[in-house]
């Protein structure tokens, strides 16, 4: 693994509270395994209990008071210093995460590192731009609107891109003057724990960013806590509903939910075929299909269906040769995150064999580890599970269509609405489709792509609220109206 220095997992088996790694009050622990071969990575990761969560909130509340005294310029300096520190340490941190996520280290220098650093730099520019409103006293009252931070916020993050997701949530929270408690997935907590101390090194007050580990029980404690003012959750629809219910039943804390998708990619006959193939294949193979925006449903116009499908199948078959040790920098594809995920994906694929035509894969790759062959189904039944439900593995479904109206109806016939893509050279068609597709993000001649400058989030049961861009800032601020009686 030339060029990489792996941090030691056993150095990150404590909670990170108030600027220190500390033992949990809870005695419950769990262990982590490497999905490439199911070997033990580390034991003794704590499952934080109510006492731990209360302590984190107490420290966060004190940190919020200290951070409130920072000027916008001071906050920006902290962001810039954090970016500089990460320039030196981020590869090591993400390599540590690879030990339990199975994400190939090959994507770190080209994708992960720049993505994280650019998000930090983007939000560093927003610290002095939290402008409000002024309305004149034409009725005898001067009206002023301020946007104020919420205070103590929490993030519950997924296993597939834990450090990137942490930054996506923490950067706008800190830019608007909030503090945050982060709970990474119990499958991939190591990188989040490793990056946490760097915030203090960058100049943020201790307690501004804290990390507690645990499972769903710990997440429920955050969701129910009466002193946490906002929670941002990324994960499954079923868990997202529980988070929202708990938030409502506790203190009506603000909630942002990003709950996955079943993203359609619509390929028209006039598209750039090479471009469409490249984007749709990459969009299902990235992180072995464990991506919320993965293009899992590909609709191809009948006039080009044979040409497209033949080439798509060829690329998916060839991708099996890209599997290997995710800690080897020459390897492109890694395993699924753990045996539970592999078991779930295999079961859905097995049921799918009776609901659609299997043309590629459909089996576990090799006998060691959690590798799943890239898998393609053709022409599924309308109610097929593989067609309707999120699989979160390298499994796609292809279906043909003839008209815009037909494919729009098929693409929208789902409770998911996160991401979609349209491949065409016709700008009028692209605009019609982008207006008609019921997704929070629509790519034209691209798919499964996010940009930090513009909002990202879903419609329908893919969640609500937005991350990225200026829109994310309003999720972490409360408008306050000040009315001044000018006749007093």
Digit-coded pLDDT (tens) for 249-287: 999 999 999 998 999 999 999 999 999 999 999 999 999
Q: What is the mean pLDDT of residues 444-451?
A: 95
Secondary structure element (H or E) that encloses residue 107, with its range: helix 107-107
Q: DSSP readout, 309-375? A: HHHHHHHHHHGGGGB--TTSTT--B---SSHHHHHHHHHHHHHHTTTSEEEE--SBSSSSSS-B--E
58-100 pLDDT, tens digit per residue, is 999 999 999 999 999 999 999 999 999 999 999 999 999 999 9
Q: What is the mean pLDDT of residues 168-185?
A: 98
Domains of the chain in sequence order? 9-259+462-480 (3.40.605.10), 264-451 (3.40.309.10)
Mean of all residue pLDDT scores within the chain? 96
d(CA 289, CA 462): 17
42 SS3 class: strand
pLDDT confidence of residue 2: 41
231 dihedral zone (left: phi>0; alpha: psi -120 to 50; beta): beta
Q: What is the mean pLDDT of residues 43-70?
A: 98
pLDDT confidence of residue 110: 79
User: 1-10, 28-37, 431-440: lowest mean pLDDT where?
Assistant: 1-10
The tokens describing 325, both together, are 């040790």
Ramachandran angles phi, psi of 265, nearest 5°: -120, 120
The tokens describing 330, both together, are 């020459």
345-403 pLDDT, tens digit per residue, is 999 999 999 999 999 999 999 999 999 999 999 999 999 999 999 999 999 999 999 99
Q: Contact 36/327 with Cβ under 8 angstroms? A: yes
The tokens describing 245, both together, are 């219910």
d(CA 353, CA 351): 5
User: Per-residue pLDDT for 307 more than 90?
Assistant: yes
For the chain, helix (H) and strand (E) counts, in that order, are: 16, 20
Neighbour-count burial of 194, counting CB atoms closer than 10 A to its CB (0-12 exposed, 13-18 middle, 19+ buried): buried
Q: Contact 374/319 with Cβ under 8 angstroms? A: yes
User: Per-residue pLDDT for 1 more than 60?
Assistant: no
The tokens describing 383, both together, are 């109610």
Q: What is the mean pLDDT of residues 19-34?
A: 97
Cα distances from 277 to residues 281, 300, 445, in angstroms, run: 6, 11, 10
Q: Contact 176/204 with Cβ under 8 angstroms? A: no
Closest CA to 187 of 2, 32, 1: 32
Position of tokens 């002095």?
A: 128
User: Per-residue pLDDT for 416 more than 70?
Assistant: yes
Sign of CA dihedral 398, 237, 93, 178: positive
User: Per-residue pLDDT for 473 more than 70?
Assistant: yes
Q: Contact 359/376 with Cβ under 8 angstroms? A: yes
Which of 3 and 464 is assigned the larger pLDDT?
A: 464
183 Cβ contact list (under 8 Å, min separation 6):
48, 154, 155, 156, 157, 211, 212, 213, 214, 218, 219, 222
Closest CA to 297 of 406, 377, 402: 377
The tokens describing 340, both together, are 């539970």
pTM score: 0.95
User: Per-residue pLDDT for 102 more than 80?
Assistant: yes
d(CA 263, CA 414): 10
The tokens describing 102, both together, are 């199975």
d(CA 46, CA 32): 11
The percent of residues above 70 in pLDDT, for the chain, comes to 99
What number of CA atoms fall less than 13 Å from residue 127's CA on the CB side? 22
Helix intervals (H) in 143-269:
162-175, 190-195, 197-201, 216-224, 237-249
Angle at which helices 404-412 and 427-436 pack, to 10 degrees?
A: 30
Return the number of other C-beta atoms located less than 10 Å from residue 109's C-beta: 15
Q: What is the mean pLDDT of residues 40-63?
A: 98
pLDDT confidence of residue 4: 43
pLDDT confidence of residue 111: 79
Q: Which residues are catalytic?
A: 258
pLDDT confidence of residue 47: 98
User: Per-residue pLDDT for 5 more than 60?
Assistant: no
d(CA 40, CA 49): 24
Secondary structure element (H or E) that encloses residue 434, with its range: helix 427-436
pLDDT confidence of residue 6: 55
Which DSSP category does 4 fall into?
Answer: -
């Amino acid at each position: 693994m030339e060029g990489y220095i792996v941090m030691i997992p056993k150095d990150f088996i404590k909670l990170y509270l108030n600027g220190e790694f500390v033992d949990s009050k809870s005695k419950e622990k769990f262990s982590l395994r490497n999905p490439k071969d199911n070997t033990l990575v580390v034991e003794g990761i704590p499952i934080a209990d109510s006492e731990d969560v209360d302590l984190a909130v107490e420290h966060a509340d004190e940190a919020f008071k200290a951070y409130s005294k920072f000027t916008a310029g001071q906050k920006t300096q902290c962001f810039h210093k954090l970016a500089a520190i990460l320039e030196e340490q981020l590869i090591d941190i993400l390599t540590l995460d690879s030990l339990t996520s199975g994400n190939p280290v090959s994507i770190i220098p080209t994708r992960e590192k720049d993505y994280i650093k650019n998000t930090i730099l983007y939000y560093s520019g927003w610290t002095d731009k939290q402008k409000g409103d002024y309305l004149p006293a034409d009725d005898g009252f001067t009206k002023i609107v301020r946007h104020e931070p919420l205070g103590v916020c929490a993030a519950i993050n997924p296993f597939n891109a834990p450090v990137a997701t942490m930054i996506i949530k923490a950067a706008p929270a800190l830019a608007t003057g909030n503090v945050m408690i982060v709970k990474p997935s119990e499958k991939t907590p190591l990188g989040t724990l490793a990056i946490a101390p760097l915030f203090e090194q960058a100049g943020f007050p201790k307690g501004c960013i804290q990390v507690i580990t645990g499972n769903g029980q710990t997440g429920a404690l955050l969701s129910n806590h009466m002193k946490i003012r906002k929670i941002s959750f990324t994960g499954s629809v079923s868990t997202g509903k529980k988070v929202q219910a708990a938030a409502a039943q506790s203190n009506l804390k603000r909630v942002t939910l990003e709950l996955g998708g079943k993203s359609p990619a619509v390929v028209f006959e006039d598209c750039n075929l090479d471009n469409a193939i490249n984007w749709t294949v990459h969009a299902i193979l990235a992180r072995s299909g464990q991506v919320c925006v993965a293009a899992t449903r590909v609709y191809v116009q009948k006039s080009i269906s044979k040409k497209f499908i033949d080439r798509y199948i060829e690329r998916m078959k060839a991708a099996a040769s890209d599997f290997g040790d995710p800690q080897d920098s020459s390897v492109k594809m890694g395993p699924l995150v753990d045996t539970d995920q592999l078991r779930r994906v295999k079961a859905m694929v097995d049921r799918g064999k009776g609901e659609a035509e299997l043309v590629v894969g459909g089996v576990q790759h090799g006998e060691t580890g959690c590798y799943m062959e890239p898998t393609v189904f053709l022409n599924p039944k309308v109610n097929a599970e593989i067609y309707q439900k999120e699989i979160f593995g390298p499994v796609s479904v292809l279906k043909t269509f003839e008209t815009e109206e037909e494919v729009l109806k098929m693409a929208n016939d789902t409770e998911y609405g996160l991401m979609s893509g349209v491949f065409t050279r016709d700008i009028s068609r692209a605009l019609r489709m982008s207006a008609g597709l019921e997704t929070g993000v629509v790519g034209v001649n691209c798919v499964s792509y996010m940009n930090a400058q513009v909002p990202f989030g879903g419609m329908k049961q893919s969640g609500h609220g937005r991350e990225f861009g200026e829109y994310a800032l309003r999720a972490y601020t409360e408008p306050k109206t000040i009315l001044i009686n000018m006749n007093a």
